[in-house]
Chains A and B, each alone.
Chain A
Amino acid sequence: MNKADRSRHYQDRVRKAISKPRLQDTLHRFADAYVVAREAAFAGQDFEALRTAIGEMKDEVRDNLPRYRDEFIANAEAAGAKVTIARTAADANAYICNLAKERGVKTVVKSKSMASEETHLNHALKDAGVEALETDLGEWIIQLAGEKPSHMVMPAIHMVKEEVAELFSKVTGKEEPAEILHLVRLAREQLRQAYLDADMGISGANVAIAETGGIALVTNEGNARLTTTLPKIHVALVGMEKLVPTLEDANRIINVLPKNATGQLITSYITWIRGAVPCGDGDKELHIVLLDNGRSALAESPHCRDALRCIKCGACANVCPVYQTVGGHVFGHIYISAIGVILTAFFHGLENASELVRACIGCRSCVAVCPSNIDLESIILHLREVIGEEEGVGAGKSIVFKNVMRNRKLFHGMLRAASVLQKPVTRGERTIRHLPLFFSGLTEWRTLPAIADKPLRDLWKNIPQKVEKPRYRVAFFAGCLNDFVYPEMGIDLVKVLNHLDVEVTLPLEQSCCGVPALYSGDKDTAVAMAEQNIDAMLKDDPDFVVTSCPTCTMALQRDFIDLLKDNPVWAEKAKSLAEITIDISCFIADKLDGAESFGKAIKAEKVTYHDSCHLKRGAGVWEQPRRLIADSGREVVEMAHSDRCCGFGGSYSFTSHADIAKHILGDKIKDIEASGATCVAMDCPGCMMQIHGGLEKQEKTVRVRHTIELLAENLDD
């Protein structure tokens, strides 16, 4: 399929998924329950310490794989197992199918195995004339439906009970009621005899333990225990990344896995199996297939190899706003959601991953809950660069990034021109409610702010600064939105900082932080922008560089370092800039200790706070702005899901995935309204644009303000 067809096909699937409100409802309800259950399950445990330890242990195995693999094989074979290494999916399938043929196997019962989904084992068995029956309830349902799993742990979460009843009715030949208990019991009855009749049982493994040569299975239903007990032959298909050195390491993973997957303290069953255990009159025949299928290549990729730490808990899907909107069949291939994007690229080829790589909105909610400490977002960004290099970033974007953005004067000149050209659609107002013709889709569900008549850089020299003895001199990195769309926020920032005896400069050589190019996969432009901005911001040797946009903050604090780390001229400068860069709320609350310096607002307004993704999960800042708002005499009321993405994501909501962005914004607006606040505050001009646009389009009266604007209001009073 060519790129254009593939994209169109993908967009079609997005639209279809969005038109299923029950799917979204199920996923949202699960996500809410999950967050509560997960927190309770980890009560009293140090999640950061647990995940750091798991990450380190997994890295140790990856870096010394031949040693641990050989230790596992030796111990497993000493216990009577036969171990084989399958280089590819086809090799694994061929081994299992040949074994089935040699032993005259007619039917196979399977317990849940994502590795077998990865290799399409059921198809291979069918072609070999062997009937494979899935016994995990969710897997059986999707097998009957002829579908793929839509979640690693809950494969049939996309289906409703009526659909399941319809499938089961076809099995029994009579109409089965859509009652969940009835359907579950029916599955039990239908599959019972199959375990006893099957000639072979196939399972996966959650861990493979080098020091014992055994495997462990983490399950709830009991089907894996039957699958690994009753048939004479047991085949375990195990991804190579499941290897751990010791029982203690296995215990470490098993402690975390159910808690992070579904919020359970432990699953009903943890089963430790080593070797050819007794079966009927003799011993069982145990075959362990260790699957590579792209894992070695992944281990060799310095940018992506952390993905091998994954313990397949599925949490990255549970918390993902994109997943919650479109489900795993759209935001996934075989493996789904954030980890799925990465594993798909390596296990199933880049072409199957390229749409998924762009579908990530970059909110980092997955990074916050990953039990193996994988920076999923950074890896996805890297893959976006790779795809950008392989396929190009799109002709329109390419021209803008390469020819316009890298040239600050031209870029800013075009923004100024846009300010004039937009007049017919703004009608002199500050927001654009409707756009003509083919742009109309962009303002169908949110208004857009107009580009200001005069950008902040033009107003700057006329902004009075009254600081007699400055405590600090700081340089303001305004970012495009603050400079060209919300210049009044810059004026407020000066007022607020002057009040705290801080003098502010606006280095005029600064330009876009480069994130739009970076997130679209154009690394070269991002590097050029990083260099330009480092020079501009360090030029006058400021005490601090303050930012009002968390995405810019991440660029200055994190991305510039990464982009320039191999460049001896720039690496140190990038580090120097990162060290003095700080977002404005954190600067006021922590560095200036200024939370109580603004008196009390005249009106004790109810304010709810929206945590911007890159501020909370990027910079780790969430408490400071709340403190500033509360201490300034306002009542902070929490909305539900305050740290859930608003759906902006920069170009994500404009060009690539407007449909998804619109739904995520809809969720946010509901939460804001339900909080009862009359003002929603945040620390990101991008979120402001999105949330204000959505509220205004729906004609809601809730005010949208940057924290800095609220503080400035106190000074005006």
Chain B
Amino acid sequence: MEKFIIAARNVGADVHVLSKPEDIVAYIDERIDGGLMLSPCPSLKHAGLSAMLKTAGVDVVEEDFRAHGAGAAAGLTGANFGIAATGTVVLESTEEAVRIATTLPEKHFVLLDPRKILATADEAVPLLNDFHKQMPQAYLAYITGPSRTADIERVLTIGVHGPAELHILLLEGVSDDVMER
């Protein structure tokens, strides 16, 4: 987990270790100004986040993400697993809602159970294989830090087309299933 945190911070992700689901709500509430796309991930459902966020007054969007288009300020998703060597989170994103929640908004909050952190990308290959065996159509995403570019004069600049902020929230106990979908 330490390796993962260092690597993710190195590429500009905000990483926080939380101890209970309520912390997630508080963390997001502090940092959001607008709608939050809540992706249909099992671990989020399991943590009961939808109701908790609404109670806290967050404007939660749970369907028809396309219509909300560029309007939503943030997206909240789970993660199937992480890769420590590069600080990567891996999301099975075949559902369009997961993809929209992680591409259009300015901020992406992602909840990862630290028990699901692999050491290297090589260890992820068997899981990629399993996903392809289970799913006839698949869209799998490795996400490492926020959207970046260096296309103008090679100057590293954060937040071009994808999220400008990536917040990785580590909370043990939400899911130990790397194949969840």
Measuring CB to CB, which residues of chain A are less than 8 angstroms from any residue of chain B?
26, 29-30, 33, 78-80, 135-138, 141, 154-157, 159-161, 164, 180-181, 183-185, 187-188, 191-193, 196, 212, 214, 220-223, 225-226, 228-230, 247-248, 251, 254-255, 262, 265-280, 283
A-B contacts, 16 listed (Cβ < 8 Å):
A33-B154, A154-B151, A160-B153, A180-B155, A187-B161, A196-B70, A221-B151, A221-B160, A223-B161, A251-B125, A265-B144, A266-B88, A268-B143, A268-B146, A270-B142, A280-B96
Set of chain A residues within 8 Å of B141, measured between Cβ atoms: 225, 269-272
Q: Is the CB of B153 within 8 A of A161?
A: yes
Q: Is B138 an interface position by the 8 A CB rule? A: yes
Set of chain B residues within 8 Å of A180, measured between Cβ atoms: 152-153, 155, 157
| Whole-angstrom CA separation of A275 from B138 in the bound complex | 7
Which chain A residue lies CB-closest to B96? A278
Binds A, one of B28-36, B99-107, B168-176: B99-107
Q: Is the CB of B138 within 8 A of A222?
A: no
Set of chain A residues within 8 Å of B2, measured between Cβ atoms: none
Set of chain B residues within 8 Å of A185, measured between Cβ atoms: 159
Closest 4 CB pairs of A and B: A222-B162, A138-B151, A270-B142, A275-B137
Residue of B137, B142, B154 with highest tally of chain A CB at under 10 A: B137
Expressed in whole angstroms, the minimum distance between the Cβ of A320 and any Cβ of chain B is 16
| Whole-angstrom CA separation of A30 from B152 in the bound complex | 12
Set of chain B residues within 8 Å of A138, measured between Cβ atoms: 149, 151
Q: Is the CB of A184 within 8 A of B125?
A: no
Q: Is the CB of B132 within 8 A of A247?
A: yes
Q: Is the CB of A187 within 8 A of B121?
A: no
| Whole-angstrom CA separation of A221 from B143 in the bound complex | 11
Q: Is the CB of B150 within 8 A of A272?
A: no
Q: Is B129 an interface position by the 8 A CB rule? A: yes
Expressed in whole angstroms, the minimum distance between the Cβ of B169 and any Cβ of chain A is 19
| Whole-angstrom CA separation of A449 from B163 in the bound complex | 61
Q: Is the CB of B128 within 8 A of A269?
A: no
Extra contacts besides A222-B161, A274-B137 (18): CB < 8 Å: A136-B151, A137-B152, A137-B161, A138-B151, A141-B152, A156-B151, A160-B153, A196-B69, A220-B148, A221-B160, A225-B103, A229-B139, A269-B143, A272-B128, A276-B137, A277-B94, A277-B138, A278-B137
| Whole-angstrom CA separation of A251 from B123 in the bound complex | 10
Q: Is B50 an interface position by the 8 A CB rule? A: no
Of A187, A223, A265, the residue contacting B85 (CB under 8 A) is A265
Set of chain B residues within 8 Å of A221, measured between Cβ atoms: 147-149, 151, 160-162
Set of chain B residues within 8 Å of A223, measured between Cβ atoms: 160-162
Q: Is the CB of A272 within 8 A of B138?
A: yes
Q: Is B86 an interface position by the 8 A CB rule? A: yes
| Whole-angstrom CA separation of A30 from B154 in the bound complex | 7
Which chain B residue lies CB-closest to A181? B157
Q: Is the CB of B161 within 8 A of A226?
A: yes
Expressed in whole angstroms, the minimum distance between the Cβ of B171 and any Cβ of chain A is 23
Q: Is the CB of A251 within 8 A of B132?
A: no
Q: Is B95 an interface position by the 8 A CB rule? A: yes
Set of chain A residues within 8 Å of B129, measured between Cβ atoms: 247
Expressed in whole angstroms, the minimum distance between the Cβ of B6 and any Cβ of chain A is 12
| Whole-angstrom CA separation of A136 from B148 in the bound complex | 11
Q: Is the CB of A222 within 8 A of B152?
A: no
Given A30-B154, A226-B103: A137 and B142 interface contact (C-beta under 8 Å): no
Q: Is the CB of A184 within 8 A of B86?
A: no
Q: Is the CB of B94 within 8 A of A266?
A: no
Of B95, B99, B100, B147, the residue contacting A220 (CB under 8 A) is B147
Of B85, B144, B153, the residue contacting A268 (CB under 8 A) is B144
Given A251-B125, A277-B94: A265 and B86 interface contact (C-beta under 8 Å): yes
Q: Is B145 an interface position by the 8 A CB rule? A: yes
Q: Is the CB of B70 within 8 A of A277?
A: no
Expressed in whole angstroms, the minimum distance between the Cβ of A249 and any Cβ of chain B is 10
Q: Is the CB of A266 within 8 A of B139?
A: no
| Whole-angstrom CA separation of A262 from B11 in the bound complex | 14
Residues of B in contact, count (CB < 8 Å): 50
Q: Give the number of A-B contacts (CB < 8 Å).
A: 172
Of B121, B145, B161, the residue contacting A254 (CB under 8 A) is B121
| Whole-angstrom CA separation of A192 from B70 in the bound complex | 7
Set of chain A residues within 8 Å of B128, measured between Cβ atoms: 247, 251, 272
| Whole-angstrom CA separation of A135 from B160 in the bound complex | 10
Query: In chain B, residues 83-115, which have Cβ atoms closer than 8 Å to a Cβ of chain A?
Result: 85-86, 88, 94-96, 99-100, 102-104
| Whole-angstrom CA separation of A484 from B94 in the bound complex | 71
Which chain A residue lies CB-closest to B129? A247
Of A193, A247, A270, A280, the residue contacting B70 (CB under 8 A) is A193
Set of chain B residues within 8 Å of A267, measured between Cβ atoms: 144
| Whole-angstrom CA separation of A352 from B45 in the bound complex | 59
| Whole-angstrom CA separation of A191 from B93 in the bound complex | 23
Q: Is the CB of B122 within 8 A of A137?
A: no
Q: Is B54 an interface position by the 8 A CB rule? A: no
Set of chain B residues within 8 Å of A276, measured between Cβ atoms: 137
Expressed in whole angstroms, the minimum distance between the Cβ of B22 and any Cβ of chain A is 30
Expressed in whole angstroms, the minimum distance between the Cβ of A256 and any Cβ of chain B is 11
Q: Is the CB of B149 within 8 A of A220?
A: yes
| Whole-angstrom CA separation of A270 from B128 in the bound complex | 12
Q: Is the CB of A262 within 8 A of B139?
A: no
| Whole-angstrom CA separation of A229 from B104 in the bound complex | 10
Set of chain A residues within 8 Å of B100, measured between Cβ atoms: 229-230
Q: Is B49 an interface position by the 8 A CB rule? A: no
Set of chain B residues within 8 Å of A266, measured between Cβ atoms: 86, 88, 121, 142, 144
Given A226-B103, A270-B142: A188 and B160 interface contact (C-beta under 8 Å): yes
| Whole-angstrom CA separation of A212 from B128 in the bound complex | 10
| Whole-angstrom CA separation of A265 from B160 in the bound complex | 20
Q: Is B136 an interface position by the 8 A CB rule? A: yes
Of A26, A135, A248, A273, the residue contacting B125 (CB under 8 A) is A248
Q: Is B66 an interface position by the 8 A CB rule? A: yes
| Whole-angstrom CA separation of A30 from B100 in the bound complex | 34
Query: In chain B, residues 17-72, which have Cβ atoms closer than 8 Å to a Cβ of chain A?
Result: 66, 69-70
Of A135, A161, A251, A262, the residue contacting B150 (CB under 8 A) is A262
Q: Is B140 an interface position by the 8 A CB rule? A: yes
Q: Is the CB of A251 within 8 A of B122?
A: yes
| Whole-angstrom CA separation of A229 from B75 in the bound complex | 16
| Whole-angstrom CA separation of A226 from B69 in the bound complex | 12
Expressed in whole angstroms, the minimum distance between the Cβ of B75 and any Cβ of chain A is 12
Q: Is the CB of A154 within 8 A of B150?
A: yes
Set of chain B residues within 8 Å of A181, measured between Cβ atoms: 157
| Whole-angstrom CA separation of A193 from B85 in the bound complex | 35
Q: Is the CB of A273 within 8 A of B151?
A: no
Of B137, B143, B154, B163, the residue contacting A26 (CB under 8 A) is B154
Which chain B residue lies CB-closest to A276? B137
| Whole-angstrom CA separation of A243 from B136 in the bound complex | 20
Expressed in whole angstroms, the minimum distance between the Cβ of A557 and any Cβ of chain B is 37
Which chain B residue lies CB-closest to A154? B151
Given A221-B147, A275-B137: A188 and B161 interface contact (C-beta under 8 Å): yes
| Whole-angstrom CA separation of A141 from B154 in the bound complex | 14
| Whole-angstrom CA separation of A187 from B160 in the bound complex | 7
Expressed in whole angstroms, the minimum distance between the Cβ of A418 and any Cβ of chain B is 47
Q: Is the CB of A279 within 8 A of B159?
A: no
Set of chain A residues within 8 Å of B147, measured between Cβ atoms: 220-222, 268-269
Q: Is the CB of A275 within 8 A of B69?
A: no
Set of chain B residues within 8 Å of A159, measured between Cβ atoms: 152
| Whole-angstrom CA separation of A270 from B121 in the bound complex | 11
Q: Is the CB of A280 within 8 A of B66?
A: yes
Of B138, B149, B163, the residue contacting A184 (CB under 8 A) is B149
Set of chain B residues within 8 Å of A247, measured between Cβ atoms: 125, 128-129, 132
| Whole-angstrom CA separation of A275 from B148 in the bound complex | 27
Of B96, B144, B157, B161, the residue contacting A279 (CB under 8 A) is B96
Set of chain A residues within 8 Å of B163, measured between Cβ atoms: 222
Which chain A residue lies CB-closest to B124? A251
Set of chain B residues within 8 Å of A248, measured between Cβ atoms: 125
Q: Is the CB of A277 within 8 A of B139?
A: yes
Q: Is the CB of B162 within 8 A of A269?
A: yes
| Whole-angstrom CA separation of A161 from B151 in the bound complex | 10
Which chain A residue lies CB-closest to B69? A196
